Structure 1
């Protein structure tokens, strides 16, 4: 269980500073601030083109909401194993740190090249700084929803989001993990039919 006291102004400022720090590191890594196309869109619905992972939200934003569900669940589990609940602010700051670290890794040449070689996402060029910051925001949204909702609704929502993305773009968090860790030709061939 994660305790429910309000997040202090100091911890909220630390959370914002963490997101800003990750954004600065991504920019220093050479990531574009916004889509190289020069536009900022609230939603980009294509799954594998130059605008994917460049705007505020896209189909992969659902995966980041699910990350928030997972991180909240992990915080609850850690609290139970530790014998006392984690403070919500501490758990959220930890989740932001993990999500931000993933954004740095995901935008490193080794992972970008892995996506291109092992998945159907051969056009993946990494995220814009705007998209990475939004991805962290979607994780925070998922974490917050998980904190406020019954477990069964979170499980149902995660399954629904995975099935929706699977139906619309033939990709989702589960397939991303499989294809990055152990590519399966049959999955890649099926995804290429989109």
Structure 2
């Protein structure tokens, strides 16, 4: 990317990120974890610190968002430059983060076995999720397709085995919750 295109990219991405932060603040999301700490990693899936610190198990699903956005935008807008597609992906991820922190979605998540105490993301976590998506998007542009497919399978299986949740189960629980999945995730 040239200096000129980097400036243009920043002039577009910067305000999107600022708007993202302002909307999250207007929704009442805290800048940092209300616990008063800023952790690099929160590994306890049932902790109130999940979605509050820089990274947690769900950070991996945001890398998958980057893979998906890359694929969808490669299909939908093949003539756009990768940087232009990344700007669209940043906008889409920011919109998702705002939706994810809306009262409606927070309440929907609380019905799931692993998210009963969910309060939404801190702004720091939400911004980190945005960076994770951009990382996934960049990886999708650099790695061969079989490597991306292997990464998705590894992430999905790894999360399912480690925390009994992943992007697929998250979407499924949101759209079509199954009692059997709820029991399995609860460890019953």
User: TM range, normalised to the smaller chain?
Assistant: over 0.9
Contact 1:49/1:124 (<8 A) preserved: no
Question: Which is richer in strand?
Answer: 1
Taking the aligned partners of 2:18 and 2:161, their CA distance within structure 1 comes to: 34
1:97 aligns with 2:91: yes
**Alignment length, in residue pairs?**
186
| Corresponding position of 2:157 | 163
Runs of 5+ unmatched residues, structure 2: none
Q: Is 1:55–1:130's contact at 8 Å kept on the other side of the alignment? A: yes
Normalising by structure 1, we get a TM-score of 0.91
TM-score of the aligned structures, taking structure 2 as reference length: 0.94
**CA distance in structure 1 between the aligned counterparts of 2:35 and 2:127, rounded to whole angstroms:** 18
What is the CA distance between 1:47 and its match in structure 2?
1.0
Following TM superposition, the consecutive aligned residue runs of length 4 or more in structure 1 with deviations greater than 4 angstroms are: none
CA RMSD of aligned residues (A): 1.4
Contact conserved, 2:45 with 2:114, CA < 8 A, in 1?
no
Equivalent residue of 1:16, what SS? Answer: helix
| 2:166 match | 172
5+ residue gaps in structure 1? none
Could you say which residue in structure 2 is the equivalent of 1:186?
180
Q: Determine the structure 2 residue equivalent to 1:143.
A: 137
